[in-house]
């Protein structure tokens, strides 16, 4: 993937249209009563990964988000959220490079799905009774050279 040209990625972006998005799986838990948690010692660590495959001119991407809310002590996460989503892109072109599809699936799909994850964790955290708003940071584009 190191030799991908921006034009190659642009062809995938232009050929892909979101057909649908669905929640595949969701889990959440906390290791203590929520009234014992406070925003002052809460730090969110978010990880994202994506897997994909092609089927009938569609790029099907499973994107998994994990959020672990930790405290300064060296302890297990006090709050845990996990969500997996399917996003299906209809492809209008057949001659797309596999490396460009891989890049698109692992970079664009998480950006398309992250607002859904943010909303899901926010509303669930409120239902769990967290005594502070769980405002997730913006998702950052992975660093690294694509050229």
User: Which residues span the domain enclosing 23?
Assistant: 6-128
**Predicted TM-score of the model (pTM):** 0.86
- Per-residue pLDDT at 145 exceeds 80: no
How far is residue 35's CA from residue 46's CA, in Å, rounded to a whole number?
Answer: 23
pLDDT of residue 3: 76
User: Does residue 74 lie within any of the structural domains?
Assistant: yes
- Pick the more confident residue, 19 or 36: 19
pLDDT of residue 146: 43
Mean pLDDT is lowest, of 13-27, 82-96, 105-119, 128-142, for 128-142
User: Does residue 80 lie within any of the structural domains?
Assistant: yes
How far is residue 42's CA from residue 99's CA, in Å, rounded to a whole number?
Answer: 38
In this structure, the number of other CB atoms found within 10 A of the CB of residue 104 comes to 22
User: Does residue 133 lie within any of the structural domains?
Assistant: no
**For residues 56-85, average pLDDT:** 87
SS3 124: helix
């Amino acid at each position: 993937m190191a030799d991908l040209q921006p034009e190659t990625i642009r062809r995938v972006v232009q050929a892909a249209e979101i057909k649908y998005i669905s929640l595949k799986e969701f889990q959440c838990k906390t290791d203590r009563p929520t009234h014992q948690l406070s925003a002052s010692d809460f730090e969110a660590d978010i990880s994202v990964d994506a897997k994909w495959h092609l089927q009938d001119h569609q790029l099907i991407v499973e994107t998994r988000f994990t959020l672990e809310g930790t405290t300064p002590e060296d302890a297990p996460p006090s709050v845990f959220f996990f969500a997996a989503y399917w996003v299906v892109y209809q492809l209008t072109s057949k001659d797309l490079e596999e490396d460009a599809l891989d890049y698109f699936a692992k970079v664009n799909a998480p950006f398309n799905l992250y607002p859904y994850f943010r909303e899901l964790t926010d509303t669930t955290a409120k239902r769990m009774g967290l005594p502070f708003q769980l405002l997730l940071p913006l998702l950052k584009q992975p660093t690294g050279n694509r050229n």
